[in-house]
Chain A
Amino acid sequence: MTNLEPHGSRLDPWVDSYAARTHGMTASEIRALFSVASRPEVVSLAGGMPFVQALPLDAIADTIARLVRERGAVALQYCNGQGDQRLREQILDVMAPVGVHAHPDDVVITAGSQMALDLVVRVFCDPGDVVLVEAPSYVGALGVFRAYECDVVHVAMDEQGLHPEALREAIATARAMGKTPKLIYTIPSFQNPGGITQGPQRRTEILEVARTAGILLLEDDPYGLLGFDGEVPRAIRADDSDAVVYLGSFSKTIASGLRVGWAVAPHGVREKLVLAAEAATLCPSNLTQLTVSEYLATQPWMEQIKNFREVYRERRDALLESMTALMPAGTTWTVPGGGFYSWVTLAPGLDATAMLPRAVAALVAYVPGTGFYVDGQGRQSLRLSYCYPEPDRIREGVRRLAGVIEAELEVLATFGTTSDHPGLRSDRPDTSASAPAPNLA
């Protein structure tokens, strides 16, 4: 046995060196629960993984092999920071259905649109600047805003999405407090997590609020081509090329693993985005850019998107039909017209975060609503994803979840309250810890 003197350790020699913005980056009980969701026994309605199995994998394999074999010296080399010229031209075709018309020079290709989002915030926001977002909003965007120490303000939505009057009021309130609103961040089509789509009139109103206030509108549109009724919502950027930065992605329409997205920005903004991109990553992956470019050039990509729509519509229907049949009274949900998600609101008094351990024990997973807010809202809600599980698994997952909610109602009836224990408290500062890792279904 040793005779060592008592010695204190925090097991991390850099604990006093971290930036203040990392203080919320801690181990999370919620994140730990999501690790169970990766097991096949669990029906995960949590993550947003696209169903890439529906892709023509052999064709993509041939494309990549051919690229390396025939153009390896280019594909495996650096490219310029703005991205491949031909792909930028092709992206114009991809955006045409949503009404976005631009010049290839307006396009900046990034490592997924998440990277574009990061670059826009990096270019526009100083610590303390206000970013106005939907209530609720995409957890990955909230993580970026937090990383740049922005002051995130949630703005109410109704069945038409972001509410213009509430947006106007939020801007006025922020300015009255001496703060500087810099961005309005919105996902107008098949919103994540709400599943809501802004109608044409609403888009016009939101754009008008942004223009009047002189605040840049950041339009995130990963799901715009994945509407189930065949119509493609017209992007806000289609009506204003100066007031809007548009973010697009191949993650949902081709493959998330390729990590190819883009931003379309006015000239001055684009120049800065390119420089910021070079500082961040030098350039996007040439191999995956050229893969996407070849895919677009040689494969019936629009037909494939139609195929994705059918896959996701069948799954959406399985989710909605089984929720209608099985969910306890008092549970409501949105009916998405496209995209990946439905937003479920539980009966009053229930707490979706506190319920998560019981759900995981019952082998079903979801994302608690608190992950989509920076301020502890969303306790009564949860996000269900239907993009990845097969329809029968979705039905089984809803059956399990309905049982969990019934059990939680019984606990609520017994104790008259829900849990508030610290590990699952809803005001945790780091929202990213409240959602599964990207590679979880």
Chain B
Amino acid sequence: MSERVVILAGGLSAERDISIRSGRRVAEALRDTGLDVDVLDVDSTLLAALTGDPPACVIPLLHGSHGEDGAIAEVLEALGLPYVGSTPASARLAYDKATAKTLIGRAGIATPASVSLPHATFRDLGAGGVLDAIIKRLPLPLVVKPAQGGSALGVSIVRRESELSPAMVGAFAYGETALIESFVEGLEIAVSVVDIGPGHTPLALPAVEIRPDSGFYDYTARYTAGVTEFIVPADLPASVASAVADVALAAHSILGLRDWSRADLIVRNATTTPEIWFLETNVAPGMTETSLLPQAIAAAEMELGLVVRGLTERAITRR
């Protein structure tokens, strides 16, 4: 393959900075494999750039809205350009955490009980009454997060009832709908899935266990080297490691995801009576120096550049 590849990075979401870092890293890795790579931001000049000199393939590494919600994929479909990543319809399913949890739950995979409500519901019905009803149904502790978006932006752990209202406001700062979910204590595990198995089938990479010093894998813990310990592969019994891989593969399949995804899971009682809980899945996993998918690729003794190049070549052939 000698044609040019375009990585899309940046955008206008709150995860712009992370996206730029992801794009820069993947671009370097791909160039090391000999590819000609440009990194473009998503702005009013993008369409002209893509149509004026169409690349062989586009790799969207956009996080947050317009990136993970399928919108950019929709545009690339309309332009007839090959791209790496999930189709718009699948991306939309995964991007909305409540929808993804519903679909995964229906398949018999455990996912914490949750409620997803827009701000308007609290405004119209009165926040006090609605929150009381939620607390009765979902006992503390809880996790409150924006129903869409990543990097733990707007996410709070609620251990006392008095913390719930501020947590709701924190989530609504990043979106109109909030997901309130039972907090499941356990090992925090991320399993990346890449379609590089035999016949381009999905392959679960080694699980990554996340141990933030602060106890909360928030934005700072995610993107500050040194403040979180990552155990790769996760220190799990073989049967549990296999089971988390199966859950991630199932999520990838149920949501119809393509090329790559990352499932965020909680494992309880890993050495006794293991329980695996699905939290969410990401269709545009982070690729920064501290991100999880690159760590999993390294643990699998693969090269990031070669993996992405393989996905790129496949995207071109399915045009």
Give me the interface of A with B, judged by CB distance under 8 Å: 1-2, 4, 6-12, 14-15, 18, 26-29, 31-33, 35-36, 39-42, 354-358, 360-361, 363, 410-424
Contact = CB atoms under 8 A, between A and B. Distances in A.
Q: Which of A6, A36, A360 has the most CB of B within 10 A?
A: A6
B14 to A, nearest CB: 6
Given A33-B14, A410-B123, A420-B166, A7 B231 contact: yes
B113 to A, nearest CB: 21
Interface string B156-171: 1000000101111111
Contacts of B151: 32
B264 interface: no
A30 to B, nearest CB: 9
Contacts of A41: 12, 43
Given A28-B220, A354-B169, A10 B225 contact: yes
A341 B255 CA distance: 50
B224 A26 contact: yes
A357 B206 contact: no
Contact of B153 (A29, A39, A414): A29
A2 B206 contact: yes
A414 B122 contact: yes
13 contacts: A4-B232, A9-B295, A10-B225, A10-B229, A15-B226, A26-B224, A32-B153, A39-B12, A39-B41, A354-B173, A415-B169, A419-B169, A421-B155
B225 A12 contact: yes
Nearest to B126: A414
A7 B230 CA distance: 8
Nearest to A358: B173
Q: Which 3 A-B pairs have the closest CB atoms?
A: A421-B170, A15-B226, A419-B170
Contacts of A417: 165-166, 169
Interface string B120-151: 00110001000000000000000000000001
Contact of B12 (A4, A36, A354, A424): A36
B290 interface: yes
A422 B153 CA distance: 10
Given A355-B173, A360-B14, A4 B206 contact: yes
Contacts of B119: 411, 414
Interface stretch (B16-24, B97-105, B275-283, B305-313): B16-24
Given A11-B295, A39-B10, 20 more contacts: A8-B231, A9-B229, A10-B225, A10-B226, A11-B228, A32-B18, A35-B20, A36-B13, A39-B12, A41-B12, A42-B12, A363-B12, A415-B122, A415-B166, A416-B165, A418-B166, A419-B166, A420-B170, A422-B216, A423-B153
B271 to A, nearest CB: 13
B220 A32 contact: no
Interface in B145-204: 151-156, 163, 165-174
Nearest to B41: A39
B299 interface: yes
B206 A1 contact: yes
A423 B17 contact: no
B69 interface: no
B289 interface: yes
B12 A415 contact: no
Nearest to B245: A1
Contact of B169 (A2, A42, A411): A411
B14 A9 contact: no
B153 A419 contact: no
A340 B228 CA distance: 40
Contacts of B229: 8-10
Contacts of B216: 422
A4 B233 CA distance: 7
A27 B220 contact: yes
B252 interface: no
B156 A421 contact: yes
Given A418-B169, A421-B155, A423-B153, A32 B230 contact: no
Contacts of B227: 10, 15, 26
Contacts of B230: 8-11
A411 B13 CA distance: 21
Contacts of B299: 2, 4, 7
A35 B16 contact: yes
A12 B230 CA distance: 11
B166 A9 contact: no
Contacts of B301: 2, 4
A36 B228 CA distance: 26
Contacts of B127: 414-416
A11 B172 contact: no
B115 to A, nearest CB: 16
Contacts of B170: 354, 419-421, 424
Contacts of A360: 14
B68 interface: no
B227 to A, nearest CB: 7
Contacts of A411: 119, 169, 172
B235 interface: yes
Contact of A11 (B156, B171, B209, B290): B290
A421 B229 CA distance: 22
A11 B123 contact: no
A232 B300 CA distance: 67
Nearest to A5: B233
A32 B219 contact: yes
Contacts of B172: 411
B218 interface: yes
Contact of B16 (A14, A28, A32, A40): A32
A264 B152 CA distance: 48
A419 B233 contact: no
B35 to A, nearest CB: 25
Contacts of A36: 12-14, 16
Contact of A414 (B12, B123, B163, B232): B123
